[in-house]
Amino acid sequence: MLQKLKFNLAYYQKPVWDTGISPPELLSFIATHSPGRALDLGCGTGTNGITLAKSGWDVTGVDFAYRAIQMAEKRARQNGVKINLLLDDVTRMDSITGDFNLILDMGCYHSLPSKTHSHYTANIDRFLASDGTYLLYVFFKNKITDMGPGVTEEDILALSNIFPLVQRQESTERGIRKSAWLTFQKHGKFINT
């Protein structure tokens, strides 16, 4: 609940993560893939959803910050695109149906508590179409014992045991900490036991 409040309040300012510019990794993906259905997890103010919609994609964006969804709706109207924007938690997503050719997560997964990772992963598996792409941007914890946001190599290994990792591009988060763009490809369905 505190995290939800923190993110809602951040959108009354200019959050550091809300650059208003889609990253080259997403633009490259769009340039090399035919439009389909896209699910933008932690969509924020809709920057990437708008970019996808302008390229012909049928986009659903999900965020648990009410203020972010309000801003995304306004920006989509201003850009003349239609995006299905939902106020929801990425570990639940009960109001979403169907398969998506692309699931994009630019910074949502690394903000989730580890105890919710299995619910999040089950949702990726539930919504990602066969041969769909899961495009994930994460930053890493500086130390495994860090309590704040970030992932570990073990988290990435757990994801790649479910969805084959086909590409990894190393980077840094604002020059401060290690980050990466990860491209996973889905083949079949994972059964969460």
Token couple for 31: 């340039």
Q: What distance in Å separates the CA atoms of residue 80 and residue 103, rounded to the nearest whole number?
A: 22
pLDDT in the model for residue 190: 46
- Residue 87 vs residues 4, 41, 61: alpha-carbon distances, Å: 12, 11, 9
Under-70 pLDDT residues of the chain: 1-12, 15-17, 143-145, 147, 188-193
Domain boundaries, the chain: 2-9+25-185
pLDDT of residue 193: 35
Q: In CATH, which superfamily holds the domain spanning 2-9+25-185?
A: Vaccinia Virus protein VP39 (3.40.50.150)
Q: Would you state the pLDDT for residue 119?
A: 95
The order of strands in the sheet holding 58-63 is 84-87, 58-63, 37-41, 100-106, 128-139, 177-185, 165-173
Please report the pLDDT score of residue 13 as a whole number. 80
pLDDT tens profile 131-156: 999 999 999 987 666 767 889 999 99
* Of 162, 112, 113, residue with least CA distance to 134: 162
Predicted pLDDT of residue 103: 98
| Residues pairing with 172 in the sheet | 178
- Tell me the pTM: 0.88
**What whole-number distance in Å separates Cα of residue 19 and Cα of residue 23?**
10
